[in-house]
Amino acid sequence: MSESNKPTEVEVLKKLFSGRTDCYGMETNNGHIAVREPLTDSILLAHVQGTKRIGVYPLRSDLTVQWACVDVDEVSKGKVEKVVVGFIENRFFPYVERSRQKGFHIWIFFDFPIQARDVRKALSEILTRTGLDGIEIFPKQEHLSTNNGIGNFVFLPLHGQSVKEARTVFVTSDFQPYEDQLDHLSRAHRTKSEDVTRMAAAIQQEPKMEDPGTEDFRLGKLDLAKYLTHYKVTYSVKEEPNRVFYHVQCPFIEAHTTPSNKGEASIIQGQDGRIGFNCFHAHCKDKTWKDVRRTISGDASIVRFCRGYVESPERKEKGPLFAEDVTDFINREIDHPEALIANGIFSKQALLIIGGISKAGKSVLITNMGLCLAAGIPFLGQFPIPQKRKGLLFQAEISDVSLQNRLNIMIRSMPVKPEKSFLKVVNNRDLRLERDKDFKLVCDLIEQSKVEYVLFDPMSRYHSRDENKTTEMKAFLSRLDYLIEKLGVSIGLVHHFGKPSEIAREGAQQLRGSSSIFDWGDSYLSIKRKSRQEDKAYVKLTFELRNAEDPDPLVLWRNSQTLWFEVQSQASPSSISDHDIIKLLQAAPGPLMRADLLSSIVEGFKVSEETARNAIGRSRHLLVEEHLKTRGNPVRYSLKPDLR
């Protein structure tokens, strides 16, 4: 392609990554936001130049999309290759972009706009066939929740400085960047929309799979044969590798159950114990297992049909509910929860959640916490731990080698080392708490180890549920409740903040997924970088406690030598004198850019950027301030002549 005919970056972005034009997503110092203004060429140019980072919303108001994107949010080339092969085998044309931070985006471009529901159905089917059904798909929605809904955006490729670092660029089959990105994208093949709709139409609608509704998860799967026999429901069994079908007559509509038409239906149980319902004659397509259970057994408890259920005297002798007079209640002496970490931060049989953006240091913080509990030393050097406790750290964020190195560095610098068996580590990425077998393994390990707290890092690695669906997350969180209530342990979770929504959220309200995650916890620690310009070693930690007064927010500094977070000593404005500023500038080989002077103060005096700015402001009477006529109008400082 000749240079004269070669499209510009803006033209390529407009043509291939076409989405909503009345709004766009943008990265700011405080996170990602939705901007409800037209997406213009000048904004796209700012993205290409690197002065802004822009995202496009794929789902248009008519619920169609012109492209789709699969987000492989980890550095796994093998996983990317499996997805690419799966797409190619189904006549989809995938284009792989290396994202800015980690992982890859796999883009599919369509020749005509296509309904989002068909795109999601087809892509979900392909990912399921490849065994990678947990990967995030954009568009994330098939419908917009309100008239003002806009869905979720995806950051555009070809972002300024990132391109020079071989990020946000498209790569070859051996994961090397194409030399000419524009030429590669201008030749992109578009997947035929008719192939997508044909595939979506051919996919059989799978029944909704639900938890059986038993009260005690450790008792294993519901024994459907026992349950159906007890309620005199005639059935036959058909087994498949990953599920079992119990063929029954439809329990709902008598009109399609006659001698000549048996109204056949199936109750389906998966390997994980979840249950679905499907009426073969499509008369009851909206019915679920919950409806079947209600029709067959009403509101009666079905826990006795679990495979591990044993009738106990405690269950037989359970009496009626007890109501206590309010006067008696308020005068009764009630024991306060026993503190693992003082100030209400972490109590016995409580759920603590540490949330934050990616790379903020959540894993380091919860590992610091586990080691403090095991050694009985104050958390962050200022929150007392009344006594050392035995615990388990389930870690699935980093490799064995990285975890070993991290723990070695941390423990070497501890004033008091944990005794043997006070903190045990499980580094396993294949545990899913909703799987009965895995959950029993976890419960058995907790009981054998006789621990008092269990930490899971990160939460998302220990389930395969849809975090945006309240019912699915409640089922997962109920299993944590079992660990807390039945086994008597405290639970700590690491969880990520979600992408910005249309409603501004603060603190732990930013946790990714259903609001039930926030509703479930007892205490929340939110960690975020103080600002994008500031050293990443400095973060702000805020507290939200249900059963105690929130401590004041803390500025923490992550010591790169020890990997421990240390509470930042908040320097008062007067603690940095004019003399300190003079010495910094006298030691410099020449005038200092404002950013360099700020950095020198922050690092040299271990203060926040705001404190450094205030110190410069107080010393301006000693400085020559020069505004440079270059991009961004930067400022540089030097001392007045009589001070040099």
Q: For 31-80, write each residue's pLDDT tens digit.
A: 899 999 999 999 999 999 999 999 999 999 999 999 999 999 877 888 99
Q: Work out the pLDDT band at 27, boundaries 50, 70, 90.
A: very high
Same domain, 505 and 532: yes
Same domain, 461 and 543: yes
Same domain, 544 and 626: no
In a domain, 293, yes or no: yes
In a domain, 191, yes or no: yes
Same domain, 500 and 599: no
Tokens representing residue 256 in the block: 């399609």
User: Where among 536, 567, 598 does a domain terminate?
Assistant: 567
Give the model's pLDDT for residue 254: 59
Given a cut of 50, whether residue 625 has pLDDT beyond it is yes
Give the C-alpha separation, 272 to 221, whole Å: 8
In a domain, 628, yes or no: yes
In a domain, 335, yes or no: no
In a domain, 270, yes or no: yes
Give the C-alpha separation, 389 to 533, whole Å: 39
Q: How many domains does the chain have?
A: 4
Query: What length is written for the chain?
Result: 644
Q: What percent of the chain has pLDDT over 70?
A: 88
Least confident of 249-263, 369-383, 483-497, 601-615: 249-263
Same domain, 191 and 280: no
3-state secondary structure of 100: coil
In a domain, 212, yes or no: no
User: Where among 172, 202, 232 does a domain terminate?
Assistant: 202
Q: How far is CA 8 from the centre of its chain?
A: 35
Given a cut of 80, whether residue 540 has pLDDT beyond it is yes
Same domain, 543 and 397: yes
Same domain, 636 and 545: no
Nearest to 534 by CA among 625, 613, 455: 613
CATH number at residue 53: 3.90.920.20
Long-range contacts of residues 50-54, Cβ cutoff 8 Å, at least 24 apart: 50/159, 50/160, 50/161, 50/162, 51/160, 52/26, 52/27, 53/26, 53/27, 53/100, 53/155, 53/159, 53/160, 54/24, 54/25, 54/26, 54/155, 54/156
Quote the domain boundaries for residue 619: 573-643
CATH number at residue 483: 3.40.50.300
Give the model's pLDDT for residue 214: 63
Of the spans 456-460, 485-489, 609-613, which averages the highest pLDDT? 456-460
Tell me the H-state helices in 224-302: 224-230, 289-297
Of the spans 56-60, 265-269, 537-541, which averages the highest pLDDT? 56-60
Same domain, 148 and 64: yes
CATH number at residue 634: 1.10.10.10
Least confident of 262-266, 297-301, 614-618: 262-266
In a domain, 210, yes or no: no
Same domain, 68 and 176: yes
Pairing, β 453-457 against β 391-395: parallel
User: Where among 533, 567, 601 does a domain terminate?
Assistant: 567
Same domain, 488 and 551: yes
At residue 512's C-alpha, the angle toward residues 445 and 499, to 5°, is 145
In a domain, 617, yes or no: yes
Give the C-alpha separation, 273 to 130, whole Å: 22
Give the model's pLDDT for residue 38: 96
Q: For 578-589, write each residue's pLDDT tens digit.
A: 788 888 888 888
